[in-house]
Amino acid sequence: MTKAEKVQFTINTLQEIYPTIPVPLDHKDPYTLLIAVLLSAQSTDVRVNKITPILFAKADNPYDMVKLSVAQIREIIKPVGLSPMKSKGIYGLSKILIEKYDGVVPSDISLLEEFPGVGHKTASVVVSQAFGIPAFPVDTHIHRLMYRWGFTNGKNVVQTEKDAKRLFPKELWNELHLQIIWYGREYSPARGWDLQKDIITRTIGRKKVLENYRKTKKAR
């Protein structure tokens, strides 16, 4: 297969498996999505989805959030991990939203990246999922699969994002990044990987990846 054929095979397979794509983090608007994505750093979506209803029952907008103290926010979000940093980020960005943006989350990635606790990936998720603006947020699943499929050198997420944007049509970025995340979780995980289930990697995967997988299986 040529690189173009591999890309098209990947797109077709993902669209067949995931014709409709659920958004992993529960939210109702750009603000609650922003908070949920911030909380998801080094945590799981399942854990975040258990905590956000408790937090949002007290404050689901920046005006109510700043009525809470950093300590109160930290106590609520403690189960998701990194609560000292995340609570300061939530309080700080809520204050900035009120002071600079009348409480409205901006749809510009560069503006979102100025908020405390918000990096490029978080900003990309918000603009793509809340505003429908083409972006390609790269998480651990996408980084792993792009390397397994031979679409990037795997050196860092910055390069992986550039390669994804270069290879995949812009109009598909928003759905593809979610499809790859779900595929990575269900068919091509880091642990407990079963190549027989992983049709994309089995068909187009990097030769080195496939050889290492077979060696690991034999060693067991």
- The catalytic residue positions are 121, 139
Q: What angle do CA 75, 185, 208 make, to 5 degrees?
A: 125
On whether the CB atoms of residues 161 and 138 are closer than 8 A, the answer is: yes
Structure tokens at 173: 């970025």
At residue 206, φ and ψ (nearest 5 deg) are -60, 135
Nearest to 128 by CA among 188, 57, 50, 181: 181
Structure tokens at 26: 């529960």
Task: Kindly write down the DSSP assignment for every residue of 84-144, as one continuous string.
Answer: HHHHHHHHHHHHHHHHHHTTPPPS-HHHHTTSTT--HHHHHHHHHHHH--------HHHHH
Scored b (16 or more CB within 10 A) or e, 113-151 reads eebbbbebbbbbbbbbbbeeeebbbbbebbbbbbbbbbb
- How far apart CA 42 and CA 34 sit, in angstroms, is 15
